[in-house]
């Protein structure tokens, strides 16, 4: 059994490498996107990971020699050729079929659709395919995108750890979502980042919008002042009365 993992999240990489280390370390190869080389500079130097581009035929051909592949916060779309010929499993930080695509926790805070974790087999569509297991993750009124995301990542690691042996041995059944749900692209995220200062909203809507886009160190929400962008974030602190 030869396994590949593609991830662009350093925390996920470290935790997943530990999960595989006891019984499966010799089976696994780790890959990242070329855009993540700076983040993984030490791992690149040590030969622990290799950069790969799934738009290049030679890189896809390399992965076709594996028996099983995992996508875990990968920035790349797995091509149809790959998912049709290799059993590929996605560890997705969203509760399918809701808010498939980019930054699920951001959109869950705004549109109030369920948040969570889904482990599913991959098909040609993004965050689509037979569901192996999933769990919801609560988002609270004091959560920002960052705090919600951290809780979701913890749940991903917990769920993946519990299912790892079954995933490798193909000892599971899949189910399909009852509906197609909704999908948010990276451009959808970029579009919501600009604040319309003249838009009429409630305080609740304004707070939800700003906390959904608060994810330090990233600068997301902004409004325009003449030719400049002014970035806005929210600091929330929960205290007992």
Residues 142 and 82 in one domain: yes
**Total domains, the chain:** 2
The proportion of the chain whose per-residue pLDDT surpasses 90, expressed as a percent, equals 86
Please report which confidence band the pLDDT of residue 70 belongs to, taking 50, 70 and 90 as the band edges.
very high
Read off the pLDDT of each residue in 114-126 and give the average, rounded to a whole number.
94
Q: What is the pLDDT of residue 180?
A: 83
Residues 18 and 114 in one domain: yes
Q: Please say whether the beta carbons of 183 and 100 come within 8 A.
A: yes
The parent domain of residue 208 ranges over 186-231
Q: Please say whether the beta carbons of 19 and 164 come within 8 A.
A: yes
Q: What is the pLDDT of residue 178?
A: 79
Query: Taking CA 31 as the corner, what is the angle to CA 101 and CA 81, rounded to the nearest 5 degrees?
Result: 60
241 lies in some domain: no
Residues 39 and 70 in one domain: yes
Average pLDDT over the chain reads 94
From the number of C-beta atoms within 10 Å of its C-beta (0-12, 13-18, 19+), residue 28 rates as: buried
Residues 9 and 80 in one domain: yes
Q: Where in the sequence numbering do the catalytic residues fall?
A: 92
Residues 152 and 193 in one domain: no
Considering the entire predicted model, what is its pTM? 0.91
Residues 82 and 58 in one domain: yes
Please report which confidence band the pLDDT of residue 177 belongs to, taking 50, 70 and 90 as the band edges.
confident
Q: What is the pLDDT of residue 147?
A: 96
Cα dist from 215 to 23, 108, 202, 221, whole Å: 36, 14, 22, 10
239 lies in some domain: no
């Amino acid at each position: 059994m030869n396994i590949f993992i593609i991830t662009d999240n350093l925390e996920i990489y470290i935790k997943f490498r530990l999960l595989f280390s006891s019984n499966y370390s010799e089976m696994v190869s780790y890959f990242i996107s070329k855009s993540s080389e700076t983040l993984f500079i030490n791992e690149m130097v040590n030969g622990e990971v290799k950069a790969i581009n799934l738009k290049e035929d030679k890189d896809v051909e390399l992965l076709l020699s594996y028996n099983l592949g995992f996508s875990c916060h990968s920035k790349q779309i797995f091509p149809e050729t790959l998912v049709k010929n290799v059993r590929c499993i996605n560890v997705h930080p969203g509760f399918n079929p809701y808010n498939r695509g980019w930054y699920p926790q951001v959109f869950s805070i705004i549109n109030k659709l369920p948040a969570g974790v889904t482990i599913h087999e991959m098909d040609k569509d993004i965050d689509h395919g037979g569901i192996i297991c999933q769990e919801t993750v609560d988002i609270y009124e004091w959560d920002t995108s960052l705090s919600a995301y951290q809780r979701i990542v913890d749940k991903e690691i917990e769920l993946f750890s519990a299912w790892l042996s079954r995933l490798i041995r193909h000892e599971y059944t899949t189910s399909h979502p009852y509906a197609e749900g909704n999908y948010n692209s990276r451009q959808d995220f970029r579009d919501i980042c600009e604040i319309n200062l003249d838009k009429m909203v409630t305080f609740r809507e304004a707070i939800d919008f700003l906390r959904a886009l608060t994810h330090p160190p990233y600068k997301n929400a902004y409004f325009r002042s003449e030719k400049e962008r002014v970035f806005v974030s929210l600091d929330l602190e929960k205290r007992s009365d």
